[in-house]
Amino acid sequence: MKTILITGCSSGFGLEIAKHFLDHDWNVIATMRTPREDALPRSDRLRVLSLDVTDPQSISRLIADAGPVDALVNNAGVGMLNALEGTSMQAAREVFETNTLGTIAMTQAVIPQFRERKSGVIVNVTSTVTLRPLHLLSVYTASKAAVNAFTESLALELEPFHIRVRLVLPGRAPETRFGDNARSRMQGGFHEAYTDLAQQVFSRWAQSTDLVTRSTDVADAVWQAVNDPASPMRIPAGADALALAAA
């Protein structure tokens, strides 16, 4: 029976990915900054472990506790919604520490065992904001675009060891906690020069009837990335993501 390690499982995409793989008879290691045993259905194939992807010691402990795994899903991430002028460098660094460097650190931590076995799959969850620029998301988009570039280059260097590396790109997912997560990093709110722009953006989002992404869409895309060797490098997840990728 195969084992998958998934980061950022406390809610949203990560939680649904963990449920999906449990339902399909995988062993699942679901990680969270603050583990919650009640977040997922009880199963003898599930372990909920603590992980802070920005902390090297936390990563080392996790890898030791997890043991051999067959697949890694880097899903842990934080949101950022603000104009650049209203974003402190501390907030920008926090976003990159989790979204970009956290993904790189976790990937680096599992590569040795994959390389030795000459097998393994790494799936990095980013976003379709990297395909189409949107207002007030410059720092967040940059953190995810960096992961796209990292992933595509890494795939080339790991190919000789039969390690597959893939990207899953979700679209806009109102059911997740991205909005709350992003607002928590706004600190003093928007710079006054961008107040009107922010109001326009929020108004458009509130009135939008556009296609959206569900957490189940992301779980399906990750399943494809892990289990289908012929899957493409970039897999859009969600109706809006599919439409954008086809445009």
| Residue 241: CATH number of its domain | 3.40.50.720
pLDDT of residue 198: 86
Q: Is the pLDDT of residue 221 over 60?
A: yes
Q: State the pairing for strand pair 164-170/234-237.
A: parallel
Amino acid of residue 91: A
Of the listed ranges 75-89, 129-143, 163-177, 206-220, the least confidently predicted one is 206-220
Domain boundaries, position 211: 3-246
Instruction: State how many domains the chain has.
Output: 1
The catalytic site residues sit at 140
pLDDT tens string 183-202: 555 556 778 899 899 889 87
Mean pLDDT of 213-217: 97
Mean pLDDT of 23-32: 98
Q: Which two tokens stand for residue 122?
A: 């790494």
**How far is Cα of residue 164 from the mean position of the Cα atoms in its chain?**
17
pLDDT band at 180 (very low <50, low <70, confident <90, very high): low
Of the listed ranges 80-84, 110-114, 187-191, the least confidently predicted one is 187-191
The fraction of the chain above a pLDDT of 90, given in percent, is: 85
Q: What angle do CA 195, 200, 203 make, to 5 degrees?
A: 120
pLDDT band at 19 (very low <50, low <70, confident <90, very high): very high
Distances (CA, A) of 183 to 74, 176, 179: 23, 13, 6
Average predicted confidence (pLDDT) for the chain: 94
